[in-house]
Structure 1
């Protein structure tokens, strides 16, 4: 006797193999049988004839955190089949010192909430206490680490500051972060040099974590962006994933075969490196990515002052 049997579905197992007709048996919170369960009984049974049955989808780059704080039912994504939200691109919600908390409060939109945590682990505990319908996993964001220690300034960390940044990454990894994330076209993350990212990822490697990155360029400089990414993987001995691999701009579209070949060559070399892609042919982002990085040096108020200065504009 199963708790639940899903009958007569077209089963997609996530491997890429063609779907097959069949049933799914569930006991507790585990799938315990897949196949023809015609002779079996379930305390509850659902006939899904004509429908597809698949593992839950993974949103690899989710910004659902605020929405989940507001309403943990996650209806907009769950009704599309998403059961795992992977958050923390560039910025995660911890670690959070007082200055970082002040910034998080400043960027809140319609959804307002108190920041009741100091670390990433405490934030994830907070989400669990509130109750959310989906699963959630978080990277620790390198830009957030940088902001906690260096603020929004375009400066290189001193050895002592870099050690402090590594300690924050180590704390987050010990608390359950799946790895380190960067988005290297957005300040202050764009201020991080390669050696800084190698040092942080050496900590990630200690925990078997993953380095995931929005490359420093996805357009004219895509080759250099990929080369830097692979350099970090080699030097830190860490696994890697490329966020939304793309060739931005029509002049770069024909670079895709070469970029894929470079990734495959890195795999053949022994690196664990993969990439994900959009399932559509457009993208969008904020103005911060096209304003020169030095405009942002010092944070958002410094940016506003420079934009008001007609001699700089």
Structure 2
């Protein structure tokens, strides 16, 4: 007896093939058959006539490392069709923890972007311990983890501005290798986040060789997405071609009007490297603004020594004066930067631009940002614009790009739901299908492939991303004419429209927009 039979829908299987009318039979958490199955006996039948039936969305770029422990129901993600999240991106992560309690405190400060719920205890020291903690939380979605570069460098080298020595490189690569052997899908770096701002190319190459030896993914938040975007992409490509590592450039965009058009040129560099045999691709999300800690705007020297040292340093006027001088030529304006979250009850701050806050205080935007970072460190968040629709379309349409939200699993009714987060955490995938597929700017089958089969392949998830017999039964059923992202920058904590059902490992988790309370997700360990 088939557990669930989805009948009459347009099956778009995640391979890039055109949709076709077919039924999908699911048993034991796996896809049993796809085809004309109307007469097959089933415990339950779900009529999908008029709907698209496709694999669950594989979000290759997320920051739900800690929010899934606070919010294992994964409300904001699973309700938009995400069935698998890849965490540990941008070099931001929670393991390994090397050293004593002071080292843990320093690492937790560096990971403020992830750390939205102070009640979540860090009770692990290594990747197996963390993955066991995550599995015990029983998330609604599947989770695969990358090894983040910040814990490696912070634990071995520290937070200072210096090159790693030979023994330190060996130690970092050893820790990385242990985590990869324990099931990590790959590793990530984030070269705008201290102390990774101080990592030399020799260090990146050594890590890449360790990753390549195990055929895992190396994901890069590159050094600069503004004036030095192309040089930053060239560095990625040098390391990829030198080491043979399967490489992913994270959220490929160009920031600042004067840099518009550079995404197309970056894609040309990627194409040339791929033609030479490099396994390089990129991910992107369908928005014209991003989300990051405000501290990301600081020059690297201001962040030397870790978060506590940074906050102490920024209280000194000569330091502030030097930062303001370096900010005199930022590619974006303070009118394009919105404060999205601070860990305090401060009415009238979140949801407003830096320019508006400065005007209200009779101050300059530089002063507003410096005050916020001095007080709240890496936990002060921003949503920043300054991007081009043409650049975004170039990235979305390129055959080597996949979709990654760069968001988090959030619960609007819990501690992770404070502030005005980026709407991508609630509506990335519905936005893609509502704003870009329905308007004819991206074909349906190609959009599904970028969200499913191609994304799973980049992450090395061999049994996800396609609707074929034997594959895991992660499935989304959505209305192509109605699916829409209802989250906005002003009101981001709104669930999407048009999602009929979401299945994770064969269990219905979301039906007609409601979360059923099921938490059948699995922690996916490579190998």
Q: In the alignment, is the contact (CA less than 8 A) between 2:2 and 2:26 conserved in 1?
A: yes
In 2, Cα distance between equivalents of 1:234 and 1:110 = 40
Summarize deviations over 1:170-226 as a string: whole Å, max 9, x none.
Answer: 111111111120111121111111110101111111111111101111111111101
In 1, Cα distance between equivalents of 2:122 and 2:312 = 28
User: Which runs of 4 or more aligned residues in structure 1 lie more than 3 Å from their structure 2 counterparts after TM superposition?
Assistant: 103-111
**Residue number in structure 2 paired with 1:48:** 48
The CA deviation at 1:104 is 4.9
In 1, Cα distance between equivalents of 2:18 and 2:45 = 25
Q: 1:268 to 1:91 in 2, by over 3 A?
A: same
The CA deviation at 1:282 is 1.8
**Aligned mate of 2:185, from 175, 178, 184:** 178
**Aligned mate of 1:281, from 284, 288, 313:** 288
Give the aligned length: 313
Q: Mean alpha-carbon deviation: is it higher for 199-208 or for 248-257?
A: 248-257
Summarize deviations over 1:19-44 as a string: whole Å, max 9, x none.
Answer: 22221001101102112111211122
Summarize deviations over 1:252-302 as a string: whole Å, max 9, x none.
Answer: 222232221111111110001111111122223222221111011111122
In 1, Cα distance between equivalents of 2:67 and 2:291 = 20
SS at match of 2:290: coil
In 2, Cα distance between equivalents of 1:100 and 1:133 = 32
**Runs of 5+ unmatched residues, structure 1:** none
Q: In the alignment, is the contact (CA less than 8 A) between 1:66 and 1:111 conserved in 2?
A: no
Q: In the alignment, is the contact (CA less than 8 A) between 2:107 and 2:151 conserved in 1?
A: no
**Residue number in structure 1 paired with 2:106:** 103
**Residue number in structure 1 paired with 2:250:** 243
SS at match of 1:311: helix
**Residue number in structure 2 paired with 1:80:** 80
Greater RCO (CA < 8 Å, at least 6 residues apart): 2
**Residue number in structure 2 paired with 1:156:** 163
Q: Mean alpha-carbon deviation: is it higher for 15-24 or for 116-125?
A: 15-24
The CA deviation at 1:53 is 1.3
Do residues 146 (structure 1) and 149 (structure 2) align?
no
Q: In the alignment, is the contact (CA less than 8 A) between 2:106 and 2:306 conserved in 1?
A: no
The CA deviation at 1:168 is 0.6
Q: Mean alpha-carbon deviation: is it higher for 147-156 or for 291-300?
A: 147-156
Q: In the alignment, is the contact (CA less than 8 A) between 1:67 and 1:111 conserved in 2?
A: no
SS at match of 1:4: strand
**Aligned mate of 1:257, from 264, 268, 276:** 264
**Runs of 5+ unmatched residues, structure 2:** 321-527
RMSD of aligned Cα (Å): 1.5
TM-score (norm 1): 0.95
Alignment of 1:34-73 (within 5 A): 34-73=34-73
TM-score (norm 2): 0.57
**Residue number in structure 1 paired with 2:125:** 118
**Residue number in structure 1 paired with 2:385:** none
In 1, Cα distance between equivalents of 2:250 and 2:287 = 14
In 2, Cα distance between equivalents of 1:109 and 1:34 = 42
In 1, Cα distance between equivalents of 2:108 and 2:254 = 35
Q: 1:110 to 1:139 in 2, by over 3 A?
A: closer
In 2, Cα distance between equivalents of 1:132 and 1:285 = 25
